[in-house]
Structure 1
Amino acid sequence: MKRIIFLLAVVGMAKTGVGQYRYGSFGSQVRLGFTLNPLVSVLKPQELGVTRNSAKAGLDFGLMADFSLNERGTYALASGFQVLLAGSKLKYDAGKGLSDYKPNPAEYNMKLTYIEIPLALKLKTQPHDAIGWWGQFGTYVDFPVSGRADIVSMNQTYDRVNILPQLNRINVGMLLGAGLEYPLGGNLTGLAGITYQNGFVDVTRNGKWNDGRVNMNSFALRLGIYF
């Protein structure tokens, strides 16, 4: 967590060097801001013997950056550095799941934390009545930094079991989003929209869980402020 705070601080200080320029104008190609995105994440099993019991409310927050591709700022590469809190509840039949709990059916309430780096092509309209609309399409890369599970097996509960070593070390997927931007006064611009992420990579290491592929998808309400 200390490393996360340090990196957020470094990028925040870098914003000071570009804050004096108007985004999209000559000499200003980068726009930075902060984002806070309430979301619902879903772990989606692809094999019999594993079922999803529920989704999980989560959060995605951190820095966002738009790298302008034209002078008007209507085309940009959207990226950032964010922390993703996600997870889901999965029920494993006997013979599946982690080895210590595999002999019996068990429910895993997974709480996962990732460092996320999105990369998308962002298209934005020219402002009309001070409001501009945007849409984006791209990808993202997630790196797990924490994984815990509350496990219930045969009426026994095991809290905060460390499952990080049993998670795949990278997750990649598709990113879609759309919304609007609106001025807040001064150099501040607000952002609101909806995003959808569809994971392509197995979240759990199949050799450890014997659960086939388990993908992670999410829907988020995207909120942010550009400076």
Structure 2
Amino acid sequence: MKKILTSTFLILTTFFVFAQEETPSQFRLGLTAHPTFAWIKSDIQGIKSNGLRAGFSYGVLGDFYFAENYAFSTALKLTTINGQTESELVANAGEQQTYKLQYIEIPLKLKLSTNESNGLKFFGEFGLGNGFNVRAKQDIKSANNSTIESDKDIYSETAFYRASLVIGAGAEFKVGEKTSIVGGLSLDNGFTDIKSGSGTLKSSYLGLNLAVFF
């Protein structure tokens, strides 16, 4: 896993440096830090979704413009995707399982922007989310909310790769010659199983996206 993450980081770094050297006016770097609100969809009989759980994401953003209002957008982020399920089985009815999962995310998106007016422009984006699991913990509570297990390590039971479709929109406001503040909302809809073994659990989240481009 370390080799995969190291190789990915080196490839992205090389790509960013090359883009800056070759087309500095068409490439931008930024920083992001924002909350996520996630849930888990269960296809396992006797296990149901049980509400939203908050998480957090932060990292580096990169936009590669190939036309005035069109760009390939990517990032290198550390994202916490939490979620909760509840058992409906007779043996442990009401038992709650809270998943606390952490991923290195490298999304690949197409970004479409409007023309700038008075320093403000709007954008929409769509693409593929790629997540690589680096940590997986689980809390288990009984129906009366007493703790059965806390921070149980479930990394070996968790799928390493998580794929998703990402759609989002937002606004960008220019505050300097090269500096912009960005705010928006995105839906990251997971379509692969987040665990190994039989049955399927899929995680999705809403991101309240905040970023600064330099």
TM-score by length of 2: 0.84
* Alpha-carbon distance between aligned partners in 2 of 1:205 and 1:140, rounded to the nearest angstrom: 19
Q: Deviations over 1:98-146 (max 9, x none)?
A: xxxxx74542111110010111110111101210110011111101100
Aligned to 1:100: none
Paired AA for residue 36 in structure 1: A
1:200 aligns with 2:191: yes
Aligned length: 203
Paired AA for residue 56 in structure 1: R
1:81 aligns with 2:99: no
- 3-state SS, counterpart of residue 205 of structure 1: coil
Aligned to 2:86: 91
* Alpha-carbon distance between aligned partners in 1 of 2:55 and 2:24, rounded to the nearest angstrom: 38
* Alpha-carbon distance between aligned partners in 1 of 2:56 and 2:35, rounded to the nearest angstrom: 5
* Alpha-carbon distance between aligned partners in 2 of 1:165 and 1:59, rounded to the nearest angstrom: 23
- 3-state SS, counterpart of residue 156 of structure 2: helix
* Alpha-carbon distance between aligned partners in 1 of 2:63 and 2:212, rounded to the nearest angstrom: 12
* Alpha-carbon distance between aligned partners in 1 of 2:136 and 2:177, rounded to the nearest angstrom: 41
1:217 aligns with 2:204: yes
* Alpha-carbon distance between aligned partners in 1 of 2:179 and 2:24, rounded to the nearest angstrom: 19
Task: Work out which of the residue numbers 1, 10, 35 in structure 2 matches 1:38.
Answer: 35
Aligned to 1:121: 110
* Alpha-carbon distance between aligned partners in 1 of 2:156 and 2:78, rounded to the nearest angstrom: 19
2:119/2:175 contact within 8 Å kept: no
Alpha-carbon distance, 1:152 to partner = 2.6
Aligned to 1:99: none
Q: Deviations over 1:74-116 (max 9, x none)?
A: 1000001011111111123559xxxxxxx74542111110010
Identity rate, percent: 27
Aligned to 2:54: 57
- 3-state SS, counterpart of residue 115 of structure 2: coil
Alpha-carbon distance, 1:219 to partner = 0.8
Task: Work out which of the residue numbers 116, 122, 128 in structure 2 matches 1:139.
Answer: 128
Mind listing any 5+ residue stretches in structure 1 that lack a counterpart?
Answer: 96-102
* Alpha-carbon distance between aligned partners in 1 of 2:98 and 2:64, rounded to the nearest angstrom: 38
Paired AA for residue 97 in structure 2: Y
Q: Deviations over 1:194-214 (max 9, x none)?
A: 10011010111134xxxx211
Mind listing any 5+ residue stretches in structure 2 that lack a counterpart?
Answer: none
* Alpha-carbon distance between aligned partners in 1 of 2:117 and 2:170, rounded to the nearest angstrom: 14
- 3-state SS, counterpart of residue 165 of structure 1: helix
Paired AA for residue 149 in structure 1: Q
CA RMSD of aligned residues (A): 2.7
Which range moved further: 104-113 or 175-184? 104-113
Paired AA for residue 161 in structure 1: K
More helix by share: 2
* Alpha-carbon distance between aligned partners in 2 of 1:119 and 1:156, rounded to the nearest angstrom: 39
Aligned to 1:171: 162
TM-score by length of 1: 0.80
Aligned pair in 2 of structure 1 residues 68, 164: CA closer, same or farther (>3 Å)?
Answer: same
